Amino acid sequence: MKNYRIAPSILSADFARLGEEVKNVIQAGADWIHFDVMDNHYVPNLTFGPMICSALKPHAKKPDGTPVPIDVHLMVQPVDALAASFADAGASLISFHPEASGHVHRSVQAIKSKGCQAGVVFNPATPLDVLDWVIDDIDLILIMSVNPGFGGQSFIDSALRKIEQARKRIEASGKDIRLEVDGGIKTDNIARVASAGADTFVAGSAIFGNPDYKAVIDSMRSALAG
């Protein structure tokens, strides 16, 4: 099986018990923790900042102590100052929306200069053109399959075509770049998303909306193996 990663979004976790939720979802098999940062400006919702990230960092490890990457998805404008704070707060990967940055190349370099992996995020109606100019510098492409701002929305099918295009660009670059998809991922569509070329899957409501996180993650993995 390909080197797939499942990244539960704690946006749909119980915020009153976040540390425990992170621990439980890791024990259930999460590969990464997806951390959705919303600023009530770039998107019409407000979540959490770097202080919550550093509070959760000690919980982001497997029972044997192996660290689990914190995958920060910035839905904020401007980007650079908060990206630096998230790097200091223990983020492993930091992705941002090119529309929200005045200088996309500079934002990528700013993230990398802090020792984090950098990603760019594409909304459902945003073309992939900016990749022409940053693909040699990034570690991750995140394709939104819903409009950013809320969990629990339905997968937008046109994302599949964009995932295929992104996969072609990654292959042409010859670089080791992760292709992550975010929004409306469920057990019953994850295999289609993988066939289009994705290797990393964010899932919020599908996992945290079911009391048995392990059952959901296991069924996603079986669908991927299938």
Within 156-185, which residues bind ligand DX5 (CB under 6 A)? 182-185
Within 55-114, which residues bind ligand DX5 (CB under 6 A)? 73
Q: Residues binding Zn ion: what is the number (CB under 5 A)?
A: 3
Query: Minimum CB separation from ligand DX5 for residue 34, in Å?
Result: 6
Helices (DSSP H) in the chain: which residue ranges?
Answer: 18-27, 50-56, 80-88, 104-113, 131-134, 159-173, 190-196, 205-208, 213-225
Beta strands in 39-163 (DSSP E): 70-75, 93-96, 117-122, 140-144
CA 92 to chain centre: 11
User: How many CB atoms are closer than 10 A to CB 70?
Assistant: 25
Within 119-138, which residues bind ligand DX5 (CB under 6 A)? none
Q: For residue 36, indicate whether it is catalytic.
A: yes
Nearest CB to Zn ion, comparing residues 23 and 73: 73
Within 179-198, which residues bind Zn ion (CB under 5 A)? 182
From the list 36, 39, 71, 139, the catalytic residue is: 36
Q: Residues binding ligand DX5: what is the number (CB under 6 A)?
A: 21
Q: Please indicate if the annotation marks 132 as binding a ligand.
A: no
Rounded to whole angstroms, the Cα distance separating 189 from 200 reads: 13
Sign of CA dihedral 29, 96, 75, 59: positive
Chosen from Zn ion, ligand DX5, none, partner binding at 183 (C-beta under 5 to 8 Å by type): ligand DX5
CA atoms within a 13 Å half-sphere pointing along the CA-CB vector of 70: 26
Q: For residue 182, indicate whether it is catalytic.
A: yes
Q: Which residues are annotated as a binding site for substrate?
A: 9, 73, 149-152, 182-184, 204-205
Task: Just list the catalytic residues.
Answer: 36, 182
* Footprint on this chain of ligand DX5 (rule: CB under 6 A): 9, 11-12, 34, 36, 73, 146, 148-149, 151-153, 182-185, 202-206
